[in-house]
Structure 1
Amino acid sequence: MTATGAKATGAGAPSRSAQMWDQVNWSHIEADVKRLQVRIAKATREGRWGKVKALQRLLTRSHSGKMLAVKRVTENRGKRTPGVDGKIWSSPAARRNGMMSLRHHGYHVMPLRRVYIPKSNGKRRPLGIPTVIS
C-alpha cells in the first residue's frame, strides 16, 4: 500500500533508465565498436602492441562497448538462463543499470555455472554459463 492507500501495481510510465535503453541508436553504437575493433586489428597487424593495449582498454571502458556487450548477452537465445548468481537482466531498466554498474576497478572473477547439453550422438557436452554481475 502507498501513502494514499492504493496498491502499487507496477503499471504506468516506464522508468527513465528503460526509456534510455529503448531509445539508444544501436547502429551508431555498433559503428563505434566496429571502428575501434578495426583499429585494434590494424595495430595488431602492424605489431604496435602498446597501441593494441591502449585501444583494447579504450574499447572495454567505452560507453558504446559496454552497451553493446550487455545487449549481446541479454538479447540472445540464452537470455533467460541465469548464471550461478541466479540473476538475469530482463527489463530495459535492469540492462541500463547493469551496464552502468560495469567497472574494471575491484573486479573479481565469478565461477561459471556448468550445465550439460545433449549432442546429436546421444552424449552430453559441458557448457559454462557466466554471471551477469561484475
Structure 2
Amino acid sequence: MNAQGLTTPKENVQQLQEKLGRAAKENKKRRFHALYDKVYRRDILWEAWRRVRANRGAAGVDEQTLADIEKQGEFQFIEECHQLLKEGDYHPSPVRRKYIPKKDGKQRPLGIPTIRDRVVQMAACH
C-alpha cells in the first residue's frame, strides 16, 4: 500500500493470486470456470506489461518493439489489449522463428511472440 493508502497494480495482482490460491488449497476439487474476465482486468494487464517490459526481448512478427509501444503510449496499448480481450476479438499472432546455435554446431529453433501476445500470456499465467 502506498502513502495514500491505495494499492498498486502489482499488489492487486498479488491479492488476486493469493485469493485464488487459497480457494484452490481449501478445496482440492474446486474448478475455476470463469477466469477469463481476470485476464483482461486493467490492473492485471498493467502488471503483465511491467513484467514483459522488464524482461526486455525482441520484436515479434509485427516488428513492434517495446520502444514503439512506449512511444505510442503504454496507456493506449493496455487499453487496446483490454478491449480486444473483453470483446473476444484477440487472436494471437504467428510466432517469429529464429535459430540460435548450439554447442554441438546444430541450431535450436526459438519462437518469439509479439509483445502483445507476451503481455496476454503473462496476464493469463501470473
Q: Out of 49, 55, 73, which is 1:94 matched to?
A: 73
TM-aligned CA distance change 1:96 to 1:120, over 3 Å:
farther
Whether 2:95 is the aligned partner of 1:112: answer yes
For residue 88 of structure 1, what is the amino acid of its counterpart? T
CA distance in 1: counterparts of 2:104 and 2:75, whole angstroms:
41
Residue aligned with 1:48, SS: coil
Whether 2:10 is the aligned partner of 1:30: answer yes
Instruction: Give the drift of 1:114.
Output: 1.1
For residue 65 of structure 1, what is the amino acid of its counterpart? I
Whether 2:46 is the aligned partner of 1:67: answer yes
Indicate the RMSD between aligned Cα atoms, in angstroms. Answer: 2.3
Higher Rg of the two aligned structures: 1
More helix by share: 2
TM, length-normalised to structure 1: 0.64
Contact 2:56 2:66 in 1 (8 A): no
Whether 2:21 is the aligned partner of 1:41: answer yes
Using CA pairs under 8 Å that are at least 6 residues apart, name the structure with larger relative contact order, 1 or 2.
2
Contact 1:87 1:132 in 2 (8 A): yes
Instruction: Give the drift of 1:86.
Output: 0.9
User: Which runs of 5 or more residues in structure 1 are unaligned?
Assistant: 1-26
Partner of 2:111: 128
Give the length in aligned residue pairs: 103
TM, length-normalised to structure 2: 0.67
CA distance in 1: counterparts of 2:41 and 2:59, whole angstroms:
25
User: Which runs of 5 or more residues in structure 2 are unaligned?
Assistant: 1-6, 118-126
